[in-house]
Amino acid sequence: MVPLTEDSRVNAGVEALPDIQRTPDPRGIAIDEVGVGSIRYPLQIPLRDGGVCHTVAEVSMRVSLPHYEKGTHMSRFMIALEERQHELRPEGIDDVLLHLREALDADTAYLDVRFPIFLERPAPVTGIVGRLDYDCHIGAALNAKGLVEKRIGVVVNAASLCPCSREISDRGAHNQRSRIAIELRPTGNEFIWFEDLVEIAEASASCQLYPILKRPDEKHVTERAYDNPKFVEDIVRDVALKLAPYHERGVVAWYRVQCTNFESIHNHDAVARIERGEQAKLLRCEG
C-alpha cells in the first residue's frame, strides 16, 4: 500500500497526463470558493471534561481561485483530509487551513465541519445517566494576509411552554420541542467550548431535555416547564442576555441566536432571531 504522501511513481504517472486545471482561463473571473463538500468522515472531538467524543462529521473544504487559473486540484483536498484528520478539531483548525492554502497554492482557504457530540445528562431526580446528542459546527477561513475568521455553533433541542396558553387556560399549557441554534465568531481571546453554548441554550428554555426520565423525573420536568413558561421570543432573548457579556469583553465578535418552536397546536413553526456584532468578512452567509 502506498503511503498517503505522493511518491515519485505517482508523480511520474500524474505528470505524463495533461493538467487541464492548470491551463490559463480567459474569462477574467476569480472564484471565491471552490472545493469539495458532503464528505462524511469519522472524527474525534475533545470534550471539556477531558474526554474525547468519537463522532461522524460532514466536511467541506474550499479555496479561492485566481481569475487566471482554470481549475483547482480536487484530490489534494481529500489527501489533506486523510493526512490532517486528527487536527480537525477546534484547536487544530488553523494548521489545517495553513496546510490547505499551501497544498492548493491558494490565497484563501475555507473549512466547515459539522458533527454531533454526545453529553451525559443525568435525570434530574433519580440521577440515572443517559447521553444526549447536540449538533455542532466549526467554520473557518484563512487568507493571504493571515486573517483568520472562525465561527462555531451548536443546535440544542429543549422544551418550551407557552406563557399565553398557560395564562388564559384553566388547566394545562401547550408545550413542544424547540430547536435553539447559537452561532458566534470567537475572537480567540478565550476558548469557548461547545458545552458552554449547550448550557446557555438549555438554561434559556422552559426545561432542558433528558434521554432517561423515570416518573419522579417526569413529574419534575413537567412542573419545571409549567413554572418556567417561555415564548420563542423569551428563549432568544435569554440566550442573547447570556451571550452579550462575551461580546462586551471582546471574546465574541458576532453572535446569532435562532429558535424554532415546533408548535404542538399548529402544523407550522414559531421562529425568532437575534443577531449582534460585526459580520464576518471571509465567512459569508451560511452559518
Minimum separation from the CB atom of position 68 to its own copies (A): 12
- Based on its alpha-carbon atoms, the radius of gyration of the chain, rounded to whole angstroms, reads 23
Segment interacting with its own copies, rule: CB under 8 A, options 93-101, 120-128, 189-197, 246-254: 120-128
64-93 positions binding its own copies, by CB under 8 A: 65, 70-72, 74-75, 78-79, 81-82
Among 49, 105, 129, 203, contact with its own copies (rule: CB under 8 A): 129
Among 131, 147, 188, 245, contact with its own copies (rule: CB under 8 A): 131
CB 177 within 8 A of CB 161: no
Which residues are within 8 A (CB) of 112 and not within 5 positions of it... i.e. 6 or more apart?
37, 59, 60, 61, 137, 138, 139, 140
211-250 positions binding its own copies, by CB under 8 A: 211-216, 218-219, 221-223, 225-227, 231-234, 236-238, 240-241
CA dihedral 192, 197, 203, 205 (to 10 degrees): 160
Specify whether the backbone of 28 is left (phi greater than 0), alpha (psi in -120 to 50) or beta: left
Nearer to its own copies, 44 or 187 (CB): 44
Q: Which residue type is seen at 183? A: E
Minimum separation from the CB atom of position 107 to its own copies (A): 15
d(CA 119, CA 154): 13
Nearer to its own copies, 98 or 280 (CB): 280
19-58 positions binding its own copies, by CB under 8 A: 19-21, 25, 27, 29-42, 44, 53-56
Segment interacting with its own copies, rule: CB under 8 A, options 87-95, 98-106, 127-135, 138-146: 127-135
Minimum separation from the CB atom of position 37 to its own copies (A): 4
Minimum separation from the CB atom of position 11 to its own copies (A): 9
The cell numbers describing 173, all together, are 399549557
CB 154 within 8 A of CB 136: yes
Residue 203 is a binding residue for its own copies (CB under 8 A): no
With both helix axes pointing from N to C terminus, report the angle between 232-248 and 194-203 in degrees, rounded to the nearest 10.
Answer: 140
Nearer to its own copies, 4 or 91 (CB): 4
